[in-house]
Amino acid sequence: MAKASKGTGADTGTKDVAAPALPYRVLARKYRPVDFTTLVGQEAMVRTLRNAIATGRIAHAFMLTGVRGVGKTTTARIIARALNCVGPDGTGGPTVDPCGVCANCTAITEDRHVDVIEMDAASRTGIDDVRELIEGVRYRPVSARYKVYIIDEVHMLSEKAFNALLKTLEEPPPHVKFLFATTEIRKVPVTVLSRCQRFDLKRVPQETLVQHFSHIAQEEKVEISPEALTLLARAADGSVRDGLSMLDQAIAHGGGVVDAAQVRDMLGLADRSRVLELFEKTMRGDAPAVLAALSEMHDAGADPVVVLQDLLEFTHWVTRLKIAPEAAAASADSERAQGLAMAGKLSMASLTRAWTLLLKGLQETLAAPSPQRAAEMALIRLCYVADLPSPSDAIKALQSGAATTNGAAVGTPAPRGGGGGGGGAAARLATQPATAVAAQPAQAMPAPRSFTEVVALFESKREARLVHSLMHYVHEVRCEPGVIEFRPTPKAPTDLAARLGELLTQWTGRRWLASVSNAQGKPTLVDQKATKADDLRSSAENHAVVQAIFKTFPGAKLDAVRRKGDQTSLVAGLGEFVGEEPPPADEYPADDDIPESEF
């Protein structure tokens, strides 16, 4: 019991009572910036606002956008203080450095100023709320220089609410300023954005967060290791508020002394060195060791989703080291040496393939009912793919018949302990005889050199329909080894070019390109054959022997002209005149037996 006071308290019988302890304030609120000098990581925006306030070029509406926890609402309150500060003597004007002691600064800091109205658009989204706001805009501020409206998460307003705000936002009274904050800038109508001065608050760099957290830890008299600060800054992902919340939790978890192990345990993170070992075992294809390591990390409290995220981060880091080795300068010595070694051993194809598979595995793990099993399947899949050669290397190996050295492996070239199933896929591919693939080109026919040779090839392959189309419905434009260009008639099949290219490529062992042209081209082979036959018949009819026969046998006519060797045999329909049978038909080749190359 406290002693009675000497004054009135003793006379009235009252006793001194100890003042109640103030409730604990979390670090995110306790160390919230109150002016531009304490705002963390937003130098570009601060410089612009300082210049605008110093020169009097103050917009009537500001749009502050960025991820959560980077200081959007805090910046809005600082702007409100800067606009309404009157200085310690009460005679000052808008300033880039609010005094913090005047009535306006104090009331705004304590969230009790009547002329600074904060509205949460997430809970007040309707048009009635905006109407209430518009009604208040007409009245001048009670005690401040400007009436400031701070609307947080403004993208949550309804379409009607936005439309109702447009006119007031475009031509507000001179005593009103609007400060909007949002994490979803794309959901804000363009008509609203065009009426505001926009500021994009960037993510706070990791190095800046480490320095900021270290300063706060010193103020709180907390011992925290540099590695623990780095883990917290990395987990914060550019958000000051998120980082301070985790720092608060870490201080409570460690009882005033914070180290990296405690932070990993608190956040469910895997040890960085163990992640590096897991990545190396995975890229080496050692599936049993990978499963054992992942199980140990899970038993130690590591989240499978976080493990895959760490593996993705490490894959990206190694890829950057392969392109720009100087990127390792900011890493620890042991980590830098291991990363550079991995970048030297792994090919770019292996790293990009690992990134794709890990990204797919992360998506599956997030959606799976058992994240641990999904993470195991993702890593097993990567183990059995990591040692495979690239498609070009596999083709070269199969064509040459020689075993290849796979650049994706780090140590043994194939997954071990796979039960004799899928392990060593690259080795089996590389050691297979090349005849399995090379047999087709080895037995391929010589490439045709002309269109008639192409038709002859199709005829030898017994493609009767295509031979008929080529002879009757195709006008040759250009034909050389590997290329056919033609003009089809309307009766030609629509897929003729595709069929030509496919079959010629298959039969000859080289790539053929068949294309359709609008050029006139040559006559069809049937027309050429008919023209040739007419020329032969005319030549035969003018022959001296035939003319003599016609004179001897009036009324005789030339029935057919056929080639036999280098000699031209003439068969005249003379049976009815001389009583003799013409030579047997099988003594001369039929029309269908004439090689197409003759025409």
- CA pseudo-torsion sign 96, 100, 102, 106: positive
Q: Give φ, ψ of 556 to 5 degrees.
A: -70, 155
Provide the terminal-to-terminal Cα distance of the chain, rounded to the nearest Å.
128
Whether residue 228 is contained in a domain is answered as yes
**The domain boundary residue, chosen from 460, 490, 522:** 522
472 and 590 inside one domain: no
Are 167 and 49 in the same domain? Answer: yes
Whether 403 and 389 have beta carbons less than 8 Å apart is answered as no
pLDDT of residue 123: 86
Summarised one tens digit per residue, pLDDT across range 214-233 is 888 888 888 888 888 888 88
Query: Which of 469, 503, 522 is the last residue in one of the domains?
Result: 522
* Residue 328 pLDDT: 60
Cα–Cα distance measured from residue 577 to residue 573, given in angstroms and rounded to the nearest whole number: 9
Looking at the structure, tell me whether residues 502 and 486 fall in a common domain.
yes
Q: DSSP alpha helices (H): ranges in 56-187?
A: 72-84, 103-109, 127-137, 159-170
For the chain, the maximum distance between any two Cα atoms, rounded to a whole number of angstroms, is 169
Whether residue 63 sits in one domain with residue 157 = yes
Using alpha carbons only, give the angle 280, 285, 290 rounded to the nearest 5 degrees.
65
Secondary-structure percent of the chain, ordered helix, strand, coil, rounded to 5: 55, 10, 35
Please list the residues that pair with 514 across neighbouring strands.
484
Contact 182, 67 (CB under 8 A): no
The CATH number of residue 242's host domain is 1.10.8.60
**Residue numbers of the domain that contains 559:** 529-598
∠ Cα 370 366 254 (to 5°): 85
Q: How many Å apart are CA 463 and CA 480, to the nearest integer?
A: 21
Q: For residues 278 and 285, give the distance between their C-alpha atoms in angstroms, rounded to a whole number.
A: 11
6 CB neighbour count, 10 Å cutoff: 8
pTM, whole model, 2 decimals? 0.54
Domain-located, residue 280: no
DSSP code string of 533-563: HHHHHHHHHTSHHHHHHHHHSTT--EEEEEE
Tell me the two tokens of residue 28: 């995110």
Residue 413 forms part of a structural domain: no
**In whole angstroms, how far apart are CA 527 and each of 169, 274, 459, 493, 523?**
81, 79, 18, 19, 6
Distance CA 197, CA 58 (A): 10
Query: Which of left, alpha, beta for 201 (phi over 0: left; psi -120 to 50: alpha)?
Result: beta
DSSP code, position 16: -
Say yes or no: 470 and 545 in one domain: no
Q: Which tens digit of pLDDT belongs to each residue from 87-116?
A: 888 787 888 888 888 888 888 888 888 889
Q: Quote the tokens at residue 333.
A: 């010595």
Query: Of 487, 522, 557, which marks where a domain is finished?
Result: 522
Using CA atoms, how far apart are residues 18 and 315, in angstroms rounded to an integer? 59
Q: Which helix (H) or strand (E) holds 366?
A: helix 348-367
And the tokens for 431?
């050691």
Q: What pLDDT, on the 0 to 100 scale, is given for residue 397?
A: 65
Classify residue 443: in a domain, yes or no.
no
In a domain? residue 306: no
Q: If you write DSSP's letter for every residue of 75-106 in order, what string do you get?
A: HHHHHHHHHH---TTS---S-SS--S-SHHHH
| Cα 263 from Cα 252, distance rounded (Å) | 11
Q: According to the model, what pLDDT value does residue 460 have? A: 85
How many CB atoms lie under 10 A from the CB of residue 416?
A: 15
Angle subtended at Cα 223 by Cα 217 and Cα 225, rounded to the nearest 5 degrees: 95
Q: Domain tally for the chain?
A: 4
pLDDT at position 373: 92
Angle, helices 348-367/304-323, rounded to nearest 10 degrees: 160
pLDDT tens for the chain, residues 1 to 599: 444 444 444 444 444 455 555 677 888 888 888 888 888 888 888 888 888 888 888 888 999 998 888 888 888 988 898 888 888 887 878 888 888 888 888 888 888 888 898 888 888 888 888 888 888 888 888 888 889 999 988 999 888 889 888 888 888 888 999 999 998 888 899 999 988 888 888 888 888 888 888 888 888 888 888 888 888 888 888 888 888 888 888 888 777 788 888 887 777 666 677 888 888 888 888 888 899 988 888 887 778 888 898 889 888 888 888 887 776 655 555 567 777 788 888 888 888 888 989 999 999 999 888 889 999 999 999 888 866 666 666 666 666 654 444 444 444 444 444 444 444 444 433 444 433 334 344 455 667 888 888 888 888 888 888 888 888 888 888 888 888 888 888 888 888 888 888 888 888 877 888 888 888 888 888 888 877 777 777 777 777 777 777 777 777 777 777 765 544 444 444 333 333 444 444 443 444 444 444 43
- 160 lies in the same domain as 213: no
The verdict on residue 498 lying in a domain is yes
Q: Evaluate whether residue 240 is within a structural domain.
A: yes
Strand partners, 117: 149
- Shared domain for 196 and 210, answered yes or no, is no
d(CA 308, CA 314): 10
Residue 170 to residue 193: CA distance in whole angstroms: 11
Helices 371-386/272-284 angle, 10° precision: 50
Q: How far is CA 100 from CA 36, 89, 104, 106, 241, in A?
A: 12, 12, 8, 6, 23
CB neighbours of residue 191 within 10 Å: 13
CA distances from 31 to 9, 39, 104 (A): 39, 10, 20
Same domain, 118 and 249: no
Q: How far apart are CA 474 and CA 125, in angstroms?
A: 71
Tell me: do 171 and 243 sit in the same domain.
Answer: no
What span, in angstroms and rounded, lies between the C-alpha atoms of 270 and 231? 11
> How far is residue 425's CA from residue 590's CA, in Å, rounded to a whole number?
58
Collapsing DSSP to helix, strand or coil, 198 comes out as strand
Same domain, 110 and 242: no
User: Residue 521 burial by CB count (10 A; 0-12/13-18/19+): exposed, middle or buried?
Assistant: middle
In a shared domain, residues 134 and 225: no
Q: 31 and 139 in one domain?
A: yes
d(CA 337, CA 458): 63
Give dist(CA 352, CA 385) in Å, integer.
Answer: 12
Residues 279, 297 contacting (CB under 8 angstroms): no
What is the pLDDT, as a whole number, of residue 377?
Answer: 92
- Answer yes or no: is 218 within a domain: yes
